[in-house]
Amino acid sequence: MVFTKFRMTHKLLLITQDNDLAKDIIALNSNKSVRANPVHVKRINQYGFLSNFTWNADNTKNDSPKRNKRQNNEEDLDEDEVFQICKSVTTLDDSRLVVSHIPAENEIVYTSRDPIKLESKVAAGGEGIIYTTNTPYVAKIYKKENNTKRKYEKIKLMLSKEIECEGVCYPVAALYNSNKEFVGYMMPKAKGKELQKSIFIKPLFLKNFPNWKKRDTVELCITILEKIKYLHDRNIVMGDINPANILVVSPKEVYFVDTDSYQVENFPCPVGTNNYTAPEIQRKHFSDFLRTMGNENFAVATLLFMIMLPGKPPYSQQGGEDPINNIIKMDFSYPFGDSSNKKTPDGPWRYIWSHLTYDLKKAFYNTFRKGGDYSTENTRLTADEWLPIFTYYLELLDSGKFGKQDKMSEKLFPTRHKKNPNVEYTTCKLCGNEVSENQCQNGICRDCLNKGEVYRCKKCGKEILYTNYQKYVKNAKRFDVCPECFEYGNKVRIRQNCVDCGRQFEITNNQYDFYTRKGFDIPKRCKSCRDAKKNRSYSSSGGYSSQTTHTTSSHNSGSSGSNGSFCFISTVICEYFGKDDNCVELSTLRGYRDNWLRNQPDGQQLIAEYYNNAPFIVSKLKTSANYTYYCQYLWDNYLQPCLVFIENKQFESCKGLYIEMYQYLRGIILKGGD
């Protein structure tokens, strides 16, 4: 009535979404008996613009906005929401479309009727460029070389169904240039962090989502599964389930992008990622076949696994083959019950796995392990079947039931295996983490014992690790030089004859470096002669002054005093058993050294090497955690037999056994053992 009255004097425009009212108002223009201004009716389209009402022959409105989201239940779906299932790839020509101009920033593109302005560039990829527009949507404009007839027909097919799921950036309209040539499509705007560059990399995970706990990753899986179920219910196969194409804002807000690659009807998904490709389709050309839901369900399981064990593919393992072969063989490394291939990767992964729920571990194991209940194309769990497993997991976490058993199960990155009720636990003094008592020494966990202070070798500058094990358990001092420099320093550099006694003596690299660094001449006398000269006890005939037998032994052995204070191996062992420095055993061994061994062709060389290394070996032996064991072992297996050989005048046998003892100890010390 209002429009009938005022259209006589005014130009009127009605803006409405009411289809029937629009028809009635427009019908006023057909009244020929009244001279009046024409009236206009517009609607607000899905892009926020005013547009005309149009009707098909059956008087139903077309190009209507998709506003009412349908439920995800299969029984609620209409034919206009579900794609057909096809068996073979389209034969449609994939040649390039003839496009006279590819629009760019600040240019106009068109839907079927409405102009859309391309604003700023958001991103660029291999196929095209994403622009913001003067609508709530973004536009993907294909590069000329990627704009093909097959792509155009696929977009039209995708638009033929009413597909609308929050967070799935599905095409909403095809776009054309001013010459009505296809150039791209419109889609909802996405936001968030790439799954690949946030959740899957621990430092970025903790940086981007610092407050997340295990329940957040479980809820994230539920959110993703609900979107995948929506697509699968409509026979849409994602194909390339790629973590770079999933953006995360929060556990409840997730966006799927690059949806134009999805497989619909006979248009295949032409791309894929190895880790998410099922064993039966590995090494195939993706554009040559249509994926099945069974193929897709493998990719879904892999995605869920890599969210729960952030970024770790299910077939990564210790000492395995390349990832593709591991997938083809279905050689899954994580244990379930007593079943394990003993190749679980080192690091936090085995801890995270142990804290998952029994149901989830069972589902993963039976999906990824060859012969598992869900391991074949037709038996893999669907998104529908994964959902209750994760929903129950979330209920356990939110109710606190899971945390009651072990509070660490609520953490993203646990630092130990799930608690065993039959094991006692303690807190590590250094890191503060709970660990089982049998994995601690002196109240420090294994991980901390293997860590420590890093410093540099004083000679070569190489980094040396002074471990917490050496510091707190062995109470060992820091070495100034690395093992390589220590070995080099003890190697003989010069062999020459003493100018006084004529005996051959050796100068090591350490000794040579000391003399040259101090500006001293290289010695021409052996150490015994140098010591004798200092004490004024060396006679012109080259003999030793008449001191006690023990003093003579000390001089000849290169020790610094007459009381055995240089503490060589046999002395240390005798001390352990309460024997004094003048005991029968030590006197016998020194007499053997001075009266027989020194006069052998290789005797001087053996003694020199022994005196260069013995002090260091003795110092390590005395600070060893196994000091008692070694003293008893060396006494029983070396020193007592040596004394028997000397008593029976089997001097060569004694020599061989003593060398064996020396090499045994030297080998342990140089390898860093106890």
The residues, any chain, with a CB within 8 Å of residue 621's CB and separated by 6 or more, are: 569, 572, 627, 630, 665, 669
Q: Please provide the DSSP assignment of 402-455 as one string.
A: HHHH-GGGGSSS-SSPPPPTTS-EEE-TTT--EEEGGGEETTEEHHHHH-EEEE
pLDDT for position 284: 94
For the CA atoms of 618, 624, 626, 628, what is the dihedral angle to 10 degrees? Answer: 50
Q: Rounded to whole angstroms, what are the CA distances from 654 to 250, 572, 650? A: 76, 19, 6
Q: 434-439 long-range contacts, Cβ below 8 Å, gap at least 24?
A: 434/408
User: Given this model, what pLDDT does residue 57 score?
Assistant: 45
Pairing of the two strands 40-44 and 13-15: parallel
Longest CA–CA span in the chain (Å) reads 153
In a 13 Å sphere around the CA of 581, the CA atoms on its Cβ side amount to 13
Residue spans of the chain under pLDDT 50: 57-75, 536-567
- In angstroms, the CA 225 to CA 300 distance is 8
CA distance 475 to 626: 12
Query: Within 10 A of 483 (CB to CB), how many other CB atoms are there?
Result: 15
Which tokens in the block code for residue 620?
């390590």
Residue-level pLDDT at 615: 79
Q: How does 230-267 read in b/e, with b if 16+ C-beta sit within 10 Å?
A: bbbbbbbbbbbbbbebbbbeebeebbbbbbbbbbbbbb
Predicted TM-score (pTM) of the model is 0.61
Residues 195 and 247 sit within 8 Å (Cβ to Cβ): yes
Measured between alpha carbons, how far is 78 from 601 in angstroms, rounded to an integer? 102
Helix axes 569-576, 603-622, angle to 10 degrees: 40
**Does residue 392 contact residue 359 with C-beta atoms inside 8 Å?**
yes
Render pLDDT for 270-296 as a digit per residue (tens, 0 to 9). 999 999 999 999 999 999 999 999 999
Helix H or strand E segment including 217 = helix 214-233
| Of 210, 16, 202, 49, the residue nearest 116 (C-alpha) | 49
Round to whole Å and give the CA distance between 351 and 344.
10
Quote the pLDDT of residue 65.
Answer: 39
Supply the pLDDT for residue 563: 36
Domains of the chain: 1-52 (no CATH), 107-188 (3.30.200.20), 208-254+268-410 (1.10.510.10), 463-526 (no CATH), 568-671 (no CATH)
Is 343 within 8 Å of 317 (Cβ atoms)? yes
**Cα dihedral across residues 585, 590, 591, 593: positive or negative:** positive
3-state secondary structure of 644: helix
Q: Are the C-beta atoms of 302 and 276 separated by less than 8 Å?
A: yes
